[in-house]
Amino acid sequence: MLVEDVSVMVVEDDAFQRRMLVRILTDMGVKKIDQAPEGNSALNMLLDRIEPIDIVISDLDMPTMDGMELIRHLGAQQSVGSVIVTSGLDPSLINSVETMARAYGIDLLGGIEKPVTQPKLGRLFKRFLLEGASKQVGESGPTFTLDEIREGIESLEFYPYYQPKVEIATGRVVGAEALVRWLHPKHGVILPAHFIPQIEEADLVDELTWNILAGAATHCRRLREHGFDMSVAVNLSLKSLTNTGIAERVMEILRGAGIEPCHIILEVTETAAISNVGHVLENLARLRMKGLGLAIDDYGTGYSSMQQLSRIPFTELKIDRSFVADAARQERLKVMVSASLDMTRKLGLKSVAEGVENRTDWELLVRLKCDIAQGYFIAKPMPYEALCEWVPNWVSPQHR
């Protein structure tokens, strides 16, 4: 998508600031611009449109309907691609509204403290142009029946794709996370959003997990045989963790693949870690005892995070992308990421930052002395064959 193809609605009660925003957008090359003085007017205009708006830029403090209420309605209508919020109020309020918007299901590009300038707005537009198209492609696609999904699992059509993990201090590729993809014979590569909910509802998670783990373990062995000193991480579901026989099943798969347990990392979400505590603790302790690495995934998004770290023998902590992506421009998030990294070092764990999207994110993590980075700035998820070609050609940002 090009800038001139992006449709924008500016919602701002101050006429002068509204005109300034329109002028900035025009100077950036935006041609499709609608204007509204407050939330009600914006909603009515959206209802009258045939084509949806790509980006709504909304002030927060407005009469009749403020920006927060507007965001709630936009989330309910699902009629807008992305939102940018602007405000002259306390920056911490913008941060809170950003979190609220995501809770309403809004694709929030970011918040801008007034005055709005072209560089500030340009950075968020760049994010939309680079990431928005891929999100739309990933979210669109065919729907599948449970029978089709079950047949795909039985036909071994689900494969691991790998997103590399890079050691920040050295720039060396040290691992990859295995992410499931459905290689559909008719529709091509299908992303998890189109099949995971049905798989979870139909109780097929275990079967899919074992297939992905077996493939990932085999690929890890081959990578190491090629001379790549890498580990591979695989996600474990809550259901799998409540099965007391999981450790033996995992070891059986690893033995079959010919890989040492120390080269496999099992990722567990915070939510999984707090459920069915007895079974979960027994399973994780046994898996760790057998030599596998354990990572707490999406750190900071669940509950009782510090409690999980105190009672589960994790070896790695993954800081969620929602903290990493905005930490360079939001002081509160930067403090949280820094504190998490400091705690990780003191606990003797490896730290992994997810969602590293650009050089700014990378350079912040360098300054904060994070151990490992993962995200689109490094590479998108790729099949095993592509990973084998990518690893020897990777050039660290330090040497670009």
Give the catalytic positions in this structure: 354
Give counts: helices (H), strands (E), the chain. 18, 14
Residue type, 207: E
Q: Which residues pair with 146 in a beta bridge?
A: none
DSSP 8-state symbol, 276: S
Write out the two tokens for 140: 């669109």
Write out the two tokens for 391: 């690893």
Please give the Cα distance from 357 to 203 (Å, whole number): 34
Backbone conformation region of residue 265, classed left if phi is above 0, alpha if psi is from -120 to 50, else beta: beta
Q: Is 396 helix (H, G, I), strand (E, B) or coil?
A: coil
DSSP 77-121: HT-EEEEEEEESS-HHHHHHHHHHHHHTT--EEEEEESSP-HHHH
Please give the Cα distance from 321 to 131 (Å, whole number): 14
Residue type, 341: L
